[in-house]
Amino acid sequence: MLASPSSHQAILNAWAKASTWLVGRYVVMPNHVHLFCAPNGIDASSLERWMRFWKSYATGLIGKQGQVWQRHHWDRQLRRGESYGEKWEYVRNNPVRHGYVTDASDWPYQGELNELRW
């Protein structure tokens, strides 16, 4: 459901509206989203609050009744020495591992909104 042109655009619009955090690279899968994000300044809301906001906003734009998002989210903070590039390669290959495409670059529901520096 999320991996469609209209849902993809709704998610992008929600992230643009929810500007207290910056979204870097992301992959939208049929039933979940992988993304790298960072606070946009020192007054950024909590990650939990930010996620609730953009998910709610995107749901309204998608126009679907009922549950759209998984109830919980899993976050992992990248620490110094960890490679953003390596983590990205793992995430962007999710559509390949699930059999949706044979090459990650063919998956249309991915991108980079902001260049995040680690």
In this structure, is residue 9 part of a structural domain? yes
Q: Does 118 fall in a domain? A: no
Is residue 63 a part of any domain in this protein?
yes
**What are 28's strand-pairing partners?**
33
Q: By residue range, what is the domain housing residue 102?
A: 5-112
Q: Indicate the SS3 state at residue 5.
A: helix
Q: What confidence score (pLDDT) does residue 33 get?
A: 93
**Which residue, among 44, 46, 47, has the nearest Cα to 20 in the 3D structure?**
44
Residue pLDDT, tens place only, 53-82: 999 899 989 987 667 776 666 777 776 656
CA 33 to chain centre: 5
Residue 100 scores a pLDDT above 70: yes
pLDDT of 66 reads 66
Angle at which helices 47-62 and 5-17 pack, to 10 degrees? 140
Read off the DSSP letter of residue 104.
Answer: G
Q: Tell me the CATH number at 19.
A: 3.30.70.1290
As a whole number of angstroms, the distance between CA 47 and CA 42 comes to 13
In a domain, 28, yes or no: yes
pLDDT at 70: 67
What is the pTM assigned to this prediction? Answer: 0.88
63 vs 104, residue with greater confidence: 104
Closest of 25, 28, 22, 23 to residue 9, by C-alpha: 28
**Structural domain contains residue 117:** no
* Domain membership flag for residue 36: yes
- d(C-alpha 34, C-alpha 70), whole Å: 12
Strands annotated E in 21-64: 21-28, 33-39
Domain count, the chain: 1
Query: Does 29 map to a domain?
Result: yes
pLDDT of the residue at 112: 96
- Mean pLDDT value across residues 14-29: 95
